[in-house]
Amino acid sequence: MRAVQYDLVDPEHPASLVEVDEPELPRGDWARIAVSGGGICGSDLHLFERNMGGAPALAAAMGIAFPFVLGHEIAGVVESVGPDCDLAVGTRVAVLPDINCEPRGIDPPCPACRRGWPSGCHNAGSAVLTPGSALGFTSGLGGGWADFVVAHESMLFPLPDGVSDHAATLHEPVSIAAHGLLRAPPHDGDPVLVIGAAIIGLATVAAVRALFPSSDITVLARHERQAEAARAVGATTVVRASDDGSHFAELAELAGARRSGRAHTSMLIGGFPYVVDAVGYANTVTDALRLVDNRGTVLLLGAAATGEYDLSPLWWKEAAFVGAARHSTDPGLHGAPSAHSIARALEILEAGYLPSNAVVTHEFPLEAHRDAITTASDRKAGAIKVVFRPAL
């Protein structure tokens, strides 16, 4: 089968379209999925922009195979199943990329999985079953940027009829947002500031609207196309980020706060009670801490890397700084049942909170992977979500 593999063969474009063996089912409770869509994530672009230390460093830190088949935002159709898998052939599914204790066949599970926290699985980098921590970062199992992928039945979520194939890959970023918000929920009705209007920021807007419908949402957007998408997704107010820091004055007015300092030393006295950094760059982490209110919460959803950060507002404002990664089972609000974040994401998509026509801006065949990465990386050109369609 065809697969886009991260292999560093070409220093200018470190991925290649290669022919690899179609993946075999590791056990009887796995299924083979014909990929209908594989999204390009911001964390994928970090690999091409070389700002997270490169593949060898990532492999050492995160349990990533090398070379590996890319693509962790995956939707498709069940093509075949093992004898112990209950899914029917032909079922449209969203694929959870995380390969935790259950898919690996590890029993007893690690302490995190045993407590219902699979996002913190201790065995994600164990190399049991597969050397990688997740689909999109491993080999031998396929991926979202390939014709096929295999997944354990616990990683497969049937797509509701109300979620189109066009929207299906959006389950992954919405799941990340929903899990993060439920790690440290805002009070419904509290204003929320979302820094960044790429797909994680837009997914956060959708998740806040669904889970905390009384909260006004302000989005800080860098590019005009992102600002338009934030409005289309339902942001209450959109503020354009500026290189000179002048957006702090506008945000201060919206928050009923006072701006202290100038340009890149600006900080709000007061601020937003809940701030989501959906970017993860050093400057956006620092801005989030400077924009949050005293004893407010900063939720870090962006894939942050090593950098220099101003943590003085964390101390000065007595703020809570919460990280959230991947996908997990989270308790419901106000005593509602627990549910997996992928299941919640599919409900949010089915309800129309993240319309795919507002965010899926480009689609490419696997053969055009170079053009797809170039398009996704050029944020000024208007790309929001770029998706591979192997059938094209």
Q: Per-residue pLDDT tens for 87-124?
A: 999 999 999 999 999 999 999 999 999 999 999 999 99
Position 133 pLDDT exceeds 70 = yes
Reported confidence tier of residue 264, pLDDT bands at 50, 70, 90:
confident
Residue with tokens 């079953």: 129
Q: Six-digit token pair at 220? A: 């800080």
CA angle 323, 310, 201 (to 5 degrees): 45
Report pLDDT for 51: 53
Position 256 pLDDT exceeds 50 = yes
Fold annotation for 2-167+355-388 = Quinone Oxidoreductase; Chain A, domain 1 (3.90.180)
Q: Per-residue pLDDT tens for 6-65?
A: 999 998 899 999 999 999 999 999 999 999 999 999 889 888 886 554 445 555 445 567
Share of the chain above pLDDT 90, in %: 84
In angstroms, the CA 205 to CA 212 distance is: 10
Q: Per-residue pLDDT tens for 356-385?
A: 999 999 999 999 999 999 999 987 778 999
Fold annotation for 178-325 = Rossmann fold (3.40.50)
In angstroms, the CA 229 to CA 100 distance is: 34
- Which helix H or strand E contains 347, and what residues bound it? helix 341-350
Position 182 pLDDT exceeds 80 = yes
- Its pTM stands at 0.95
Report pLDDT for 61: 46
Q: Per-residue pLDDT tens for 144-173?
A: 999 999 999 999 999 999 999 999 999 999
Domain locations in the chain as residue ranges: 2-167+355-388, 178-325
Of the two residues 132 and 171, the one the predictor is more confident about is 171
In angstroms, the CA 172 to CA 206 distance is: 13
Domains 2-167+355-388 and 178-325 share a fold: no
Name the nearest CA neighbour of 299 among 283, 267, 328, 277. 277
Query: Which of 141-155, 254-268, 290-304, 342-356 is least confident?
Result: 254-268
